[in-house]
Amino acid sequence: MADNDILSFEMILTALREEAADCFTDPVLVTIDFSKIADVDPKGGEAKVQRLKSSRRVAFLKAELYQEDALIFSAKAVFKARAGLE
């Protein structure tokens, strides 16, 4: 079961990082909040990312991990541009 959680974290974090990289170069994760919905093997699952709000320096993102149209994990994250941290 813990392996399923770790794989879910990795899948969601990868999807969030890819979306953040589309917002600005060199994104840095500031915070993330995961919510486990169901204890299901996520292999073959699909992560969907939504950009809630973004600017030149910060992006607020939401990701959901689905397995056969059933929501199994969700996360909200904040990324900042590295240049904005200085």
pLDDT tens-digit readout, 50-78 = 999 999 899 999 999 999 999 999 999 99
How high is the pLDDT of residue 85?
54
CATH number for the domain whose boundaries are 2-85 = 3.10.129.10
pTM above 0.75, yes or no: yes
Domain locations in the chain as residue ranges: 2-85
- Beta-carbon contacts of 46 under 8 Å, excluding residues fewer than 6 positions away, are 65, 66, 67
| pLDDT in the model for residue 1 | 57
